[in-house]
Structure 1
């Protein structure tokens, strides 16, 4: 265990990763501040020294993972003209769906204080679904300019439909829900891109 008074590098990520492991092993009911600090091999009071409480901690975990997915989507411009368009979009879709365990999402939605803090963070500009939608739109516009997306396609509408659907899938999953098959999201992407985009479908699940 880290000695008292000694700074812990990357403390936030250490605690966040520990919380995800606790939830994966013990479920939402097992997520307590003591369980998190024990899993992270930190002092019992470390979490409350850096967060107002477990609700704020959970909200910050959700915001952090959404920001990671948004950063991943922001790299889409580097893929313009490279690989299949649907493959590139599928990568972003899977990254968002994998960004949070369903139990953590459930905690953030069902604990009023955690839900409020998450909403306030998003309203204050924390990168999340809006940023991902903007990145997908810009990417599709660039691909359309290259002729890799049909000229009649509407990038903004495609991005809205794709990110909105993934948001629904992410926010309505439960720990007992079977993970969304890759072929399901791939078919959605192919439908949104429409004729003129003909990527190879992924292998069956």
Structure 2
């Protein structure tokens, strides 16, 4: 436990990581300010020192994880010409599947104030699934320029199919559901087979 008055480096990330651990272990019902700070090993009031309450915390967690995922996807266009198109598409699908943003977003949907804050931020240009979709489309256009993807392939539709399907898998990934990674692999194989010459 951090002593009172001692600064905690990167406190936001520490609290966000603790919240993810609580969510993974106990589900949305177990996510309280006290559970988060206990998991983080810090003073009980620390969350309210940095956030206006649990709703703001949940919204900021969701937006932070969306931004982190969008940054990772933004590196995809630089992969053009490397590995196979299927491998590169699968890599971004797995980044999305491993992201905690959708779990936080599902939680935000149950808390109107948090949901409103997330929606307003996304409408205002905060990175989210739209940014990931554009990164995938930009990557595919780069592959077209290299001749590794059919010139008439609809890059926007492929990106939408990939990101939309992964979003669906995330939102329906309850216990007992099929492994989303296997389904993502099947989707990528189908997309890669439908877009022309893939090397």
| Residues 67, 127 of structure 1: 8 Å contact kept | yes
1: CA distance between counterparts of 2:173 and 2:149?
31
| Residues 149, 198 of structure 2: 8 Å contact kept | no
Aligned position for 1:202:
none
Length-normalised TM-score, structure 2: 0.91
Change (3 A) 1:186 1:198: farther
CA shift for structure 1 position 102? 6.5
Aligned position for 1:24:
24
2: CA distance between counterparts of 1:90 and 1:17?
25
CA root-mean-square deviation: 1.9
Aligned position for 2:170:
170
Aligned position for 2:186:
187
| Residues 55, 114 of structure 1: 8 Å contact kept | yes
Q: C-alpha deviations, 1:65-97, integer Å up to 9, x for none?
A: 111110011111221100011111111111112
The structure richer in helix per residue is: 2
Q: Which runs of structure 2 are paired with 1:1-205 in the superposition (5 Å)?
A: 1-100=1-100, 104-174=104-174, 176-178=175-177, 180-193=179-192, 194=194, 196-198=196-198
Change (3 A) 1:9 1:106: same
Number of equivalenced pairs: 198
Q: Name structure 2 gaps, 5 residues minimum.
A: none
2: CA distance between counterparts of 1:77 and 1:140?
8
Change (3 A) 1:35 1:195: closer
| Residues 102, 173 of structure 1: 8 Å contact kept | no
Q: Name structure 1 gaps, 5 residues minimum.
A: 200-205
1: CA distance between counterparts of 2:141 and 2:133?
12
CA shift for structure 1 position 23? 1.6
